[in-house]
Amino acid sequence: KHKTEKESQYYGFDGNRQYDYYIEDGEKPSTSKHNPGSIKLNNLKLTDVAKVNTKVDDVPIKTFNILVDDARQLTQRYFKTLAQTEKAYFMQDNDFIQRFVQGVEKLNNVDLSKKQEDLAASKVKLHMYKLYEDDYHNSGGESYDY
């Protein structure tokens, strides 16, 4: 018997043998189980200047995935407050996206390496495009690929 509903989603069969496989919290993207509302949008300081990151040492993948999940949730909440033209502008502003990721790093007390910070920024940018596309499509606009 499985302890939680989440664990029961990862239950399968292999021929006559049954087996359990369970993805640990945060080991794969979008699997972190922490409270999604734990980070408040108004605590994020977007007026700071983006700092040049020279750190080489990576943080664990679980920590990185949790940070990216938080950044996506904050992006979604932030985009709800913007008009379409503002969304289109911020999606193209790489400095803004870098400041956004660095702000989430500060809130989570995480210090990503340069490579991880760039990867997180690209994932946030892709998420912004998806949110923009969904909003544009729902408002009656044409759909297009990126």
Domain count, the chain: 1
Average pLDDT per 10 consecutive residues for the chain, totaling 146 residues = 50 48 56 56 68 84 88 88 87 90 88 93 93 76 53
Q: Which domain holds residue 104?
A: 29-138
pLDDT of residue 34: 55
pLDDT of residue 14: 46
pLDDT for the residue 81: 86
What's residue 144's pLDDT?
A: 52
The answer to whether position 143 is within a domain reads no
In a domain, 7, yes or no: no
pTM, two decimals, is 0.68
For residues 4 and 141, what is the distance between their CA atoms, to the nearest angstrom?
41
Closest CA to 79 of 96, 63, 64, 67: 96
Q: Is residue 49 part of a domain?
A: yes
CATH value at residue 111: 1.20.58.1330
What's the longest Cα–Cα distance across the chain? 59
Contacts of 24 (CB under 8 A, 6+ apart): 31, 62
Number of other residues whose CB lies within 10 A of the CB of residue 112: 25
Would you say residue 13 lies in a domain? no
Q: Is residue 119 part of a domain?
A: yes
Res 84: pLDDT:
85
CA distance 94 to 118: 10
Is position 12 within any domain?
Answer: no
* 8 A C-beta contact, residue 39 and residue 70: yes
Domain membership flag for residue 10: no
